[in-house]
Amino acid sequence: MEESLRKLDAFFNPCSVAVIGATKKVDKAGHVIFKNFATNKQRGVFKGDLYPVNPGEDSILGFRCYPSIKDIPSDVELIVIIVPAKVVPSVMEEAASKNVQAAIIVSAGFKEIGNLELENQVVAAAQKGGIRVLGPNCLGIYYSKTGVDSLFLPETKVLTTGEDVIATPRPMPGNIAMLTQSGAFGVAALDYLTGQQMGVSKFVSFGNKCDVTDSEILNYLLHDKETRVILAYVEDIKRGRDFLKVAKKVTAKKPVVVIKSGKGEAGARAAASHTGAIAGSDKIYAAAFEQAGVIRARDMEEFFDVGKALAMQPPALGKNIGILTDAGGPGVMTVDELEMLGLTVEPFSEQVIQEFEKLKADGVILKIAATHNPVDLTGSVTDDQFEIAADLMFQDSEIDGIIFLGLHHMPGLREKYIDSVAKVARKYCKPLVMCDIGETEMALYTRSRFARLGIPSYSSPEDAARSMKGLVTYGLYLQKNNCAEEYLKEYLQRRDKQ
């Protein structure tokens, strides 16, 4: 591993961690963070040495507490800092003596409230000591595999009623990396991803980005085997040229989806008062993202939806989409949205149309079914009809991807079609995304079952269409840059192993 990556690796795979500002006081961030590490150590997840640092305590949660980092008997690889801002420069100086490689500064009170000089002092001390810094004013890192969890928001929260409820869950392990400049959006994302059963490889909250930048973490994730897709919330990007260069390298291998906020005049003003971000011209960002193959999401839902699609399915190598439905209206809504997004829903090739006619003649599918694209098997659909139609549509060389609207309400459907349609999709190297509308028992079951089978599922036709657009955008980018073939080769190797 090259030196720059090795340094960053200390954030995710540290042999030892000291929590500066750990405390016994339950409500304090210093308690929550230390407890995260202590619990993960007890569970056998965090395998490194763990040191609480606080001059006012003897021990915390059974761990001997040290008055200062200098008193720790051995070297420390990662420190997490939650002490008042003004103390942080001296902590950094002491840390250098313990060969610290990486520091997460959770503490706020720096550039974001005008204390630029203090932040500069921290950076200077860190550079002198050879320490990489994440933050300040950040949540830091969550990495389930090694038990690094510097999030000061506890998983559960006690209400005034005395009830203990899940408030800020940690998602299960998975192949999506989540980067965020906004801590609040970051915790919201953890909650959302957990609820959507989307697994996370690495979570990084940047805060003020005084040292470690987006570009560096992107580069780290390029080499991270667990990460397949990178989601990033950004308000501004420092060193734009670096970012472009790195992003271009990354997107040849792994999709990157961003939500860039602070778009218009009022939005930029709001961003400035939030993270001190100078949002800059939105058009410049848009052009830069496009050039680097970074997919920009229109809003929060599209951000996660597109990420989910890219994490599960191959990209589409063309923009002509097939629609298979048992619901006419939602089928039309899908066509509308695809058209608006610049994709097409062209009639099938003559051969496939003939095959559909034959299926009608043989009584396999109903004569009243529409089969020119969309294929509308009507409310009289059966499980088998869905399977047969999906297979036929995939065979059409003019079809680059399929949106499957399998509304579970139709009386002839049992749950068999879920597994069989998912199985059909695995025979081909074209993307399939699905939609079932509804929020009660059977809808939730259907979507969740499809997701477990590797088919991203959505609750509205337009969400499905937008996700397909993400798959098309990425596929066409790969193609233009001559890396589609290799990407798909690796995709298929991974899929075959599953």
Per CB under 8 A, which of residues 127..186 are in contact with a copy of itself? Answer: 152-154, 157, 159-161, 165-169, 180-185
Cα distance between residue 249 and residue 218, in whole Å: 9
Give, as one character, the DSSP assignment of residue 79: E
Q: Which is nearer to a copy of itself, 66 or 203 (CB)?
A: 203
What residues from 434 to 453 belong to the interface with a copy of itself (CB under 8 A)? 437-443, 445
Residue 493 as a binder of a copy of itself (CB under 8 A): the answer is no
Site map 377..406 versus a copy of itself, x via CB under 8 A: --x---------------------------
Question: Closest distance between a copy of itself and the C-beta of residue 245, in Å?
Answer: 26
Q: Which residue in 431, 430, 434 sits closest to 419, CA to CA?
A: 434
Kindly state the number of chain residues that form the binding site for a copy of itself, as judged by CB under 8 A: 95
Residue 409 CA, chain-centre distance (Å), reads: 31
Question: Closest distance between a copy of itself and the C-beta of residue 167, in Å?
Answer: 4
Q: Which of 291, 329, 423, 486 binds a copy of itself (CB under 8 A)?
A: 329
What does DSSP say about strands 63-64 and 59-60: parallel, antiparallel, or unpaired? Answer: antiparallel
Distances, alpha carbon 365 to alpha carbons 143, 181, 324, 357, in Å: 49, 52, 13, 9
Q: Which of 124, 195, 239, 351 binds a copy of itself (CB under 8 A)?
A: 195
Site map 296..325 versus a copy of itself, x via CB under 8 A: ---xxx------------------------
Question: Closest distance between a copy of itself and the C-beta of residue 134, in Å?
Answer: 17
Strand, coil or helix: 467: helix
Give, as one character, the DSSP assignment of residue 54: -
Question: Closest distance between a copy of itself and the C-beta of residue 285, in Å?
Answer: 12
Question: Closest distance between a copy of itself and the C-beta of residue 10, in Å?
Answer: 26
Question: Closest distance between a copy of itself and the C-beta of residue 399, in Å?
Answer: 14
Cis peptide before 330 (omega within 30 of 0): no
Map tokens 């899940």 to a residue: 166
Under a CB-based contact definition with an 8 Å cutoff, are residues 258 and 234 in contact?
yes
Residue 353 as a binder of a copy of itself (CB under 8 A): the answer is no
Cα distance between residue 289 and residue 308, in whole Å: 19
Angle of helix 461-480 versus helix 328-340 axis, rounded to 10: 40
Q: Which is nearer to a copy of itself, 161 or 498 (CB)?
A: 161
